[in-house]
């Protein structure tokens, strides 16, 4: 599933052709994805201007001139692809329709945004912009890891007394919004914390070291266009490149990259997810 860097990369790719532009025509080619589309979604989108494109956790939010906000979740395999951009950043010719093109937005200036999702775990919803943060999917989210609300004092306080493994705590979207398996593994490696270490066995000072490292990992990934492992593509169809910089994720059996370390990367399963780490460097 795309994590924060991938979703932010897509948002940045969509912004130049969506923000300030009118949706000349919206087409919805099936009744549902992960759950049913909202009533009359195509009609409600057609003619609306996209005033602002933002991200909350792993969701893209398009604030519309109609007073509604379009919520987009990419799911496991969803892609938002742009074609026909008159400014020349994307392929000019619109591609032939594909089987899994579920929602198509033709923008007034000629660009087309196609939501393609073979596995159909993605989702879209429409809600009033005023009070949008109260949407059931958004109301439960913790602070953004790249925002001011995610601080050393916040993290230490939020994790105080917890007996869960640190990796599980960092994946809890109620504590931190947007973190996923890849970037938690990478952040724990950089802070030399074992993914199975119980939170209550870590000092406040050590927990605090996670905050700047989490931010750096996410910023590095965004700068590289995210990570493409299976399905992820940027809005222009290009792959992300951060997977080439992984220190531990997906590197089971390969040498640890810490200078002087002779150990290899190991993998354990935590709550059904693979955790990658160096047993010598991470304690």
Tens-digit pLDDT profile for residues 54-67:
999 999 999 999 99
The model's confidence at residue 118, banded by pLDDT at 50, 70 and 90, is very high
Residue 98 pLDDT: 79
pTM: 0.91
CA distance 104 to 228: 23
Q: Is 75 in contact with 123 (CB distance < 8 Å)?
A: yes
pLDDT at 227 over 90: no
Cα 163 to the center of its chain, rounded Å: 27
Q: Among 38-42, 48-52, 195-199, 245-249, name the one with the lowest average pLDDT.
A: 245-249
Residue 215 pLDDT: 98
The model's confidence at residue 243, banded by pLDDT at 50, 70 and 90, is confident
The side-by-side arrangement of strands in the sheet containing 112-116 is: 23-28, 101-107, 112-116, 79-83
The last residue of a domain, from among 77, 105, 139: 139
Same domain, 134 and 167: no
Of 2, 143, 145, 195, the catalytic one is 2
Q: Please state the domain count of the chain.
A: 2
Kindly report the CA angle at 33 between 30 and 36, in degrees rounded to 5? 80
Of 120, 192, 267, 273, the catalytic one is 273
Of 3, 6, 8, 68, the catalytic one is 3
Examine the residue annotation and report whether 58 is marked as an active-site residue of this protein: yes
Of 55, 58, 112, 233, the catalytic one is 58
The Cα-based distances of 158 to 149, 150, 187 in angstroms read: 12, 10, 18
Examine the residue annotation and report whether 2 is marked as an active-site residue of this protein: yes
The model's confidence at residue 228, banded by pLDDT at 50, 70 and 90, is low
Residue 239 pLDDT: 58
Same domain, 125 and 228: no
**Long-range contacts of residues 60-66, Cβ cutoff 8 Å, at least 24 apart:** 60/7, 60/10, 60/11, 60/14, 61/132, 62/18, 63/129, 63/132, 64/129
The last residue of a domain, from among 139, 169, 201: 139
Nearby residues of 202 by Cβ (< 8 Å), 6 or more positions away:
166, 193
Q: Which domain holds residue 103?
A: 4-139
Same domain, 156 and 127: no
């Amino acid at each position: 599933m795309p994590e924060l860097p991938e979703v932010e990369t897509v948002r940045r790719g969509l912004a130049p052709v969506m923000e300030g532009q009118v949706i000349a025509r919206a087409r919805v080619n099936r009744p549902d994805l992960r759950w049913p589309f909202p009533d009359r979604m195509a009609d409600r989108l057609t003619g609306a201007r996209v005033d602002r494109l933002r991200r909350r956790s792993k969701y893209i939010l398009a604030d519309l001139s109609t007073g509604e906000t379009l919520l987009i979740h990419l799911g496991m395999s969803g892609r938002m692809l742009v074609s026909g951009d008159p400014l020349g950043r994307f392929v000019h010719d619109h591609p032939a329709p594909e089987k899994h093109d579920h929602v198509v937005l033709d923008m007034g200036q000629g660009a087309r945004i196609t939501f393609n999702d073979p596995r159909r775990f993605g989702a879209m919803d429409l809600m009033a912009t005023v009070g949008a943060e109260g949407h059931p999917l958004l109301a439960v989210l913790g602070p953004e890891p790249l925002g001011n609300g995610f601080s050393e004092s916040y993290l230490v306080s939020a994790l105080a007394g917890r007996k869960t493994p640190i990796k599980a705590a960092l994946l809890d979207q109620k504590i931190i919004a947007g973190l996923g398996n890849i970037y938690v593994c990478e952040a724990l490696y950089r802070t030399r914390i074992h993914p199975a270490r119980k939170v209550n066995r870590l000092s406040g000072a050590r927990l605090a070291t996670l905050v700047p490292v989490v931010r750096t990992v996410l910023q590095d990934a965004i700068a590289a266009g995210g990570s493409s492992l299976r399905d992820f593509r940027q809005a222009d169809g290009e792959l992300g490149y951060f997977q080439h910089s992984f220190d531990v994720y997906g590197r089971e059996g390969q040498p640890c990259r810490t200078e002087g370390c002779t150990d290899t990367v190991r993998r354990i399963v935590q709550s059904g997810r693979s955790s990658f780490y160096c047993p010598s460097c991470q304690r």
